[in-house]
Structure 1
Amino acid sequence: MKKHIYLFVFICAGILQSCKKDIELTMLQAVAFSTPLTADQTSVNLSEANDTTAVITFSWPAVSYPIKASVSYTLEVAVPADTIGSAAWTKATSVPIGNDVLSKSYKGKDLNDLALLMGIASGATGELVFRLKAEQDRGTYSNPVTVMVTPYVARVIYPLLYIPGDFQGWAPATAPTAAALQPGIYEAYIYIPAGGTNYFKMTSARDWNHINYGDAGEGKISVAGDAAGLLAAESGYIQVAVNLNSNTWSATKITWSILGDATSGGWDSDTQLTYDPAAQVWTVTADMLATGSFKFRANNAWIIDFGVNEEGKLAYANSPVYGYNSAVSNITVPSSGNYTITLDLHDPSKYNFKLKKND
């Protein structure tokens, strides 16, 4: 009987040893990405224009594990200095992708936020290194991919003010808006037809139940409900400005022209634009030279004028409301010819212009 017990113990021990050996062999089986992690861009220049569109897409193959179950993927992002040495990748930012997902696209705003978070300065170009981690019963990593990224700082959007007045029936619900490019400093361009009183106010909401800004005298604003209206000295196209930091306001009649050596008048003679009240735009048709440049300027003087910023968008070079900006450049046309030029300032959050070459 004793002999049989020993034999049974020996056989069981052999079976357990065999099972343990099989498990160890399974766990040690090599797991890896069959092809590299790839990105469809090697460099990305970010701006507000591509905030909501996909700017880069990463793709990878499915990793096969011995156990047939879902595989979790995580994208890791680091700056190059944090991908080498004994602490390599320990400071990486992890971006969960999900189970069995084989690609990741970044919209402009998301990549911009990531780049700023990783320490790349606005307007500067820096390197981000991406790698993918696949994980099930153990993890494995892809090759690293380096992408050059240039982030930007998004313009802060401040609350709007509204401009009801005699010119539109004193209706805040349908009033034009004023926007702030700097904290507390609001501006808008409104059209006041002849024949009215030229009075208006500003409100903080599309009703009369919140803050109303009226005239306190001597260029100052009042928030008293019974304050007099603000008065434009003339009817026509008016630049309205309110500075809530200094409690001051102004209303200035404006006409627009173009000036520069891209125009027939050169830098000595303005080419006037014409206002269309129905379309709320200023236009001119003129022969333009690609060898020169021009700016939009108000009232034939270098007090208020527009050029373009580094993104090619309309921006103030000179403004009594916002000051002088030396970074603003002159505007050019892509090729010489006859153009219809449009200046659109009806939405203070989206000042813009168009250049249309005529056949």
Structure 2
Amino acid sequence: MMRVLSNLTKVAFLLPLIWACGPIDEPPIIPQVPATIASAPSSITLTGEDEDEVVVFTVNPADFGTPMEVTYIIQMDRPGNNFANAADLGSSTSTTVEIKAAEINRRAVSRGILGGETGPMEFRVRAVPSRTLSALVGAAVTINVTTFADAVALRNLFLVGEATARGWNNNDNNPPLFRDPENTDLYVYSGFFNAGGFKVLEVLGAWQPQYGTNDGTSIAVNTGNGSDPDVFNVPAAGYYTFTFDLSTETFSLVPIDNVPATFGTVGIIGSATANGWDASTAMNQLTFDRHIYYINATLSDGEMKFRADNDWAVNWGANTAISGRGTQDGPNIPVEAGTYKIWFNSLDGRYIKIDQ
């Protein structure tokens, strides 16, 4: 009994000491200020006449609350997209960022401004610290950009609708149609479709230009000034080849009778890829249709191929850079340095690279 009382006495003695410590002070919050665009052209007119032409941006420096080196990246996207498809145009560790005019042109065209036309683009600064802190992004500035015709800047088309992988969401990694490398008005998509309707979009996140059909045989389009067309109709769930030809304004949807098995993995490999020719970089496999693969990749000048299951037994190659149809043991695909969303279809070997 005496031992229990002794322990209680010790506890009673310690309690005042514990309470005397008081509340623990919170660590101070260090304010952080993002970088913003200090000066830039009021409008940007790109001509393509000088391959060394640059557009200069200056930025107000970011403040991370402590001195460190900061890399400033100028980003661009179309208005209203909240930079969901932001293009990194150029960077610098100083507050002056020079961007190649051709780079702005290429990215602006891929975001909906046709060659030779003028449209608004949003620009902002992403400040990346040298220490382990999160990057900061500044407020957007809208600048009108006039583009020039560029042979590399080609129309991309995307699937949307209940018959397709992303339903009616128009900006959710929607699979693209695969563009023919010679007839750039011809697109082909072989894959799985649910029963129901679908349409084709030209710009992710925008409902026009929008393609469909009103008579079941020819292509109809709303470029933004008319009425939306009706859907392309899939009669029953299954595998089909959808051929879409803007040069003749016709389409076809033909069932595929013999569908090959899928692969465990498909990856990119080659001197242009992160692992060189030593190892494949795995692509993501679309759950909706496991013959469709995609990856965001920064590539260097060089070559690449697609291959299955990290082995050369099944591989695809072709001699066209931006889009094409790979064949077994085909030639290495030429690559120009850049950041791309790459899509590949193991059903027919078709691929497409889309500027990011």
Q: Calculate the TM-score normalised by the size of structure 1.
A: 0.34
Choose 1 or 2 for highest CA Rg: 1
Q: Calculate the TM-score normalised by the size of structure 2.
A: 0.34
